Structure 1
Amino acid sequence: MLQTWKALGQAGIEAAGGLNGVARRDNVPVAALRTYLRADGHLTQFGEDRLNPGGKMEITNAMLHTWKALGQAGIEAAGGLESVAKRDNVRAAALKNYLRADGRLTQRGEDRLASGEKAKVTDAMLQTWNALGQAEIEAAGGLDGVAKRDNVLAATLRTYLRADGSLSQYGEDRLNPGGKATITDAMLRTWKALGQVGIKAAGGLDGVARRDNVPVAALKNYLRADGRLTQRGENRLNPGGKVKITGAMLRT
């Protein structure tokens, strides 16, 4: 399919009614098509990477240090993130997991560089944090201070602990994993009907997860805060509606 799209050229795309027309003709979601194909007929770097996966380099910590030193000006001078990926022979999608267009590493990138120096969050830590309360967190220098004191990544700590001293739903779920319900299609339909207003009224996604007794991490795989189902949720409710782009299709 990608090879067919690559052969279209701009004129072929325009004749088909633009990218929307190509997506409709080939029965694929237009958002998925735009990940791979531009309106000028060129494949995106994602598309090129998928057609030519062999020979790409694994991202190393040395690369992260180099990218971090580039800064926004260096990235722009290289032609943007896709050009940096091409220059260093890595997949653009993989690079974007670690580097932002403004030159900063993502939290994932920062965590990877610091991962060897930080402790893993344990259930014992969660119980200690749960007992702190807001006053003690503030006395420790806020969440960053608690993270520094306990030698854990601040981003990881924030996944479990709030500044007011309460555990997040992730933290509660981890300390009390038993008794959670399995997410069903009926739940997805109920959540889809909530809308943004209904989600806010329930206390946000954490509130919906607590109300329906499901892990919040699992719920967020299917439902967004604006009330829309994620693509994973839509696909689960409508598994036969769209064609998935497969390796076999690429070879046709």
Structure 2
Amino acid sequence: MNLAVPPRDRAVNRTVNLLKQRGSPYLQMIFFLLIAGVMAFLTSVCLHALGMTSTAFRYPISVGVAYATFLLMMCSFVSYHRRRRVKSYSPAANVIDADFGHCATAIPSIDHPHAVTSSNGAEAAGSFWIGDADAAGPVVLVVLLVIAVGVATFASFMFVIQAPALLAEVLVDGVLLVGLTRSVEQKSDGAWLFRLVRKTILPAIAVAASFALLGMFIDVYLPGATTLNQALNQIPSSKSIR
């Protein structure tokens, strides 16, 4: 039985060490996630302005756009390092240049873009808490909000923690293999992107599902609310609940 570490795994491990020593993988991943969050916010605002008042559709669509933006940022990351490697190509090269000082950017942190997104829109037409849900509705809304924000925060945290490994894998699969062959083959392109999607799609689905559930509750029990802020403002006071 061969216990030797496969060449690709050795390359990934070596690249992880280079990233931690010479690059800023955690900062880069935070930057990618922030860009994705901003795109989610802008998507929700634009869809609301275009007349999509249903939060059950608008929130998950915004999460989908955020995930697509994240993949686009990773593609740009790979494309940048491919160009660098082609310019400095050497047949003897077997180590990826992991100096990312020029592409690491520090910007203010936005933890929960979807919560911010929900603060935009027209003023609600009034309170629509229905029947026996008057007392339980506010509690359910807050619980669903906490769950959605918690899932998004946990997913973002996991992406940041795994940043060195994720970036190392896309560099090895999308840059090193292409650099050694001096060609960009369609098969290798699809391989690295497919691996990335397979490793990251489940957290994205979980975030989309949690916000879709929150949006569905708002649409059903607060049909006059088109944003989360309006829904929270429609929560009855303790006097109105009796």
Q: TM-score normalised to the size of structure 1?
A: 0.22
Instruction: Name the TM-score, length of structure 2 as normaliser.
Output: 0.23
Q: Which has the higher contact order (CA 8 A, sep 6+)?
A: 2
